[in-house]
Structure 1
Amino acid sequence: MRTTLLAATAGAAVLLTTAAAAAPAHMGPGCAAGQLCLWPKGGYEGPRETHELSDTDIESCVPLPDGRPARSFVNRTGRPVTTFQSAECAETGEFDTYPGGGTYVPDSPYAVRAFRIAER
């Protein structure tokens, strides 16, 4: 009986570990459709900052508040979003454009200090 219980417990542990490993690593927590969500640490860690189309100027440079860069983000706006290393959206630093609708970036290649949402 004890051997059966140990085997069942070990099997359940393997199943839980396998299920956790199979979960998509790109799933950013709590970012709804229509939002751009940014986190200060990689892996979607730390307090989330959220922007929506209804309260963000399209085609305008939006610096992140208090100079706190983001290290991970999710673009679910449905529009392309360009992230910038520069807080002024200068193209002299690093920048990349990510498609809308469901782009997950758990570890940005640079500190994101500003972004711009494109018209389309």
Structure 2
Amino acid sequence: MPLPTAFDGYVEQSKRVSPTFLITFERNRYSVPASFASRPVSLLIYPERLVIVAEGHVVCEHQRIIERSHRHPGRVIYDWRHYLAVVQRKPGALRNGAPFVEMPEAFRQLQGSYG
């Protein structure tokens, strides 16, 4: 007798990616690869992570941020890699773009050359 498949416990929501490549969940915003701007995606909500799926493929994941206080504004969680297509077209975006605050050292050096 075959073993049963593992239970994959998540809740799914439909979302539309903003023109600035973000989706909103529980007062926080999470980045999505630039190629999905203004497109529908599925958000798979796990207790510890969020998985974004489009066209039947996982396009990215983020650690889920759980804030219990409603006194503070929601956070924006960026993955700088989601914005590389934008940088190819507009290198100056490295200068002061919020998604590029946390990058590997090689990219920080490149960022300095545009500053």
TM-score interval, smaller chain: under 0.3
* Larger Rg over CA atoms: 1
Instruction: Compute the TM-score of the two structures, normalised by the length of structure 1.
Output: 0.25
Q: TM-score, normalised by structure 2?
A: 0.25
RCO higher in 1 or 2 (8 Å CA, sep ≥ 6)?
A: 1
